[in-house]
Amino acid sequence: MRVTLKLFATLGDYLPPGARFNQIELDLDHGTTVQALIDRYSLPPKLVHLVLVNGHFVPPEERATRALNEGDVLAIWPPIAGG
């Protein structure tokens, strides 16, 4: 199945070669979870703050069980501070 992974701010450094405009399209096995993809790209847990699938928030306790589907867009942001 085809899924788009978008990583924002400093997380963009974890995207593989070939990624453009902070995103990459991936071919994944059916049943791949949000957490499996986070682990696949070795994203540091402290930097995985806001996780959205198709614009809907996925809380930390659901990431290991939330399976991705064909055409999903997984977007991840690190914590952002400002003032």
Note the pLDDT tens digit of each residue in 1-43. 999 999 999 898 888 787 788 899 999 999 999 999 999 999 9
Strands 23-27 and 2-7, how do they pair?
antiparallel
Given a contact cutoff of 8 angstroms between Cβ atoms, the answer to whether 72 and 53 are in contact is yes
pTM: 0.91
Token digits for 57?
Answer: 């928030």
In 3D, which of 10, 41, 14, 18 has the Cα closest to residue 28? 41
Q: Supply the pLDDT for residue 67.
A: 98
pLDDT band at 82 (very low <50, low <70, confident <90, very high): low
